[in-house]
Amino acid sequence: MTAKSVLLDAQQLLDPALEHTLIIVKPDGFARGLTGEIIRRIESKGYTIKGLKLMVASKELLAEHYRDHKDKPFFPGLVEFMGSGPVVAIIVEGQRVVEGMRNLMGATDPTTAAAGTIRGDLGRAWNTPHMENLVHGSDSADSANREITLWFPEIY
């Protein structure tokens, strides 16, 4: 027997009264087996997972995702790293979730990110040209909407 599934669309899936953000467990987080720990922290905070998938992101998707950084010196290395292995893309829902997730993630540089945060507790500098900091989280409600549409086009 073949199992059949029905894909929910954004209207059914996402509560319009709540805020949403796009979280990505980056290739370093997935390779280190930290996906569960990162999801545990998101759920323990009280936020709800509304979409989740394991994928290898294309260069095109990543260039669009990081378009605001396209003139930065680290852009080529960032896109290369983000496409170097599987990532887990997650839609997270809750009141003020964009701000709340940025707080849970900690500062960009994992060496100085505060203890207690995902990057501060689980991340560190390595001997790599790019920065490995385990997670991405949208930086505003507008970015979140753009990024969710980009990473989950199948629900629109």
Q: Which is nearer to ligand DAT, 90 or 155 (CB)?
A: 90
Site stretch for ligand DAT (CB under 6 A), options 7-15, 29-37, 42-50, 131-139: 131-139
Q: Return binding residues for ATP.
A: 26, 74, 102, 108, 119, 133
CB of 140 to Mg ion, least distance (A): 9
CB of 44 to ligand DAT, least distance (A): 21
- The secondary structure element, H or E, covering residue 40 is helix 35-45
50, two tokens:
């509304």
Our answer to whether residue 20 is catalytic in this structure is no
* Cα angle for residues 93, 69, 138 (degrees, 5° grid): 5
Distance CA 41, CA 121 (A): 12
Q: What is the DSSP string of 124-136?
A: ---SSSS---SEE
- Residue 25, classified by CB atoms within 10 Å of its CB into exposed (0-12), middle (13-18) or buried (19+), is buried
What are the backbone angles phi and psi of residue 33, rounded to the nearest 5°? 75, 30
Give the one residue of 40, 54, 58, 74 binding ligand DAT; rule: CB under 6 A.
74
CB of 9 to ligand DAT, least distance (A): 28
Asked if 133 is part of the footprint of ligand DAT (rule: CB under 6 A), the reply reads yes
Q: Pick one of ligand DAT, Mg ion, none as the site partner of residue 79 (Cβ within 5 to 8 A by kind).
A: none
For Mg ion, the binding residues (CB under 5 A) are 139
Active site residues: 136
